[in-house]
């Protein structure tokens, strides 16, 4: 009787183990087919910009010969719809801010025109709507 009981307990444990593994695979995927979270549009845009960090730095430095170093604030990325009066779907502006020369009272913003809010920017279309600035006496002025 003891042998039969041990055999039944062993079979039950094995059945539960196989069933548990099967349920795990049904929920999380079989083998290599693991469900992976897809990156959001913002994550894709930011990843692209980070891949082109040096081009962004070079662009900002080219705006003023006194800019020796550039610090990009990756958390500042923003996409806003452009407003062109009566135009339908005028596009979007993707912007990224930072400071330069390790001075906290400086600021720059680089801009990219994109047609749709989820588009990936094109590095060759980098622009700057405002000059690099410095805060003096409570007023932002062009850095000279």
Q: CB within 8 A of 29, min separation 6: which ones?
A: 35
pLDDT of residue 5: 73
133 and 92 both lie in a single domain: yes
Does 16 score more than 90 pLDDT? Answer: no
23 and 54 both lie in a single domain: no
Are the beta carbons of 58 and 67 closer than 8 angstroms?
A: no
Domains in the chain: how many in total?
2
91 and 136 both lie in a single domain: yes
Q: What is the mean pLDDT of residues 90-113?
A: 95
Percent of the chain topping pLDDT 70: 74
50 and 4 both lie in a single domain: no
CATH code where residue 69 lies: 3.10.450
25 and 46 both lie in a single domain: no
31 and 61 both lie in a single domain: no
61 and 1 both lie in a single domain: no
Q: What is the mean pLDDT of residues 102-110?
A: 96
What is the residue range of 71's domain? Answer: 41-142
11 and 71 both lie in a single domain: no
72 and 115 both lie in a single domain: yes
Report field, pTM of the whole predicted structure over 0.75: no
Question: How many angstroms separate the Cα of 139 from the Cα of each of 109, 110, 134, 142?
Answer: 17, 20, 8, 10
Are the beta carbons of 28 and 34 closer than 8 angstroms?
A: yes
132 and 68 both lie in a single domain: yes
89 and 20 both lie in a single domain: no
15 and 47 both lie in a single domain: no
Residues 28-72: tens digit of each pLDDT:
555 555 677 888 999 999 999 999 999 999 999 999 999 999 999
In terms of phi and psi (left: phi > 0; alpha: psi -120 to 50; beta: otherwise), the region of 89 is: left
Q: What is the mean pLDDT of residues 108-134?
A: 95
10 Å CB burial of residue 4 (0-12, 13-18, 19+) is exposed
């Amino acid at each position: 009787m003891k042998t039969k009981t041990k055999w039944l307990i062993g079979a039950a444990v094995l059945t539960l183990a196989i069933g548990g593994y099967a349920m795990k695979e049904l929920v999380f995927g079989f083998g290599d087919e693991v469900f992976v979270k897809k990156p959001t549009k913002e994550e894709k845009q930011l990843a692209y910009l980070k891949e082109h960090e040096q081009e962004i730095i070079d662009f900002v430095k080219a705006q003023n010969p006194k800019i020796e170093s550039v610090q990009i604030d990756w958390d500042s990325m923003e996409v806003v719809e452009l407003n062109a009066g009566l135009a339908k779907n005028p596009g979007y502006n993707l912007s990224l801010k930072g400071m330069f020369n390790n001075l906290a009272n400086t600021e720059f913003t680089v801009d990219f025109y994109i047609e749709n809010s989820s588009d990936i920017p094109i590095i060759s279309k980098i622009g700057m709507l405002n000059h690099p600035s410095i805060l003096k006496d409570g007023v932002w002025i062009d850095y000279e």
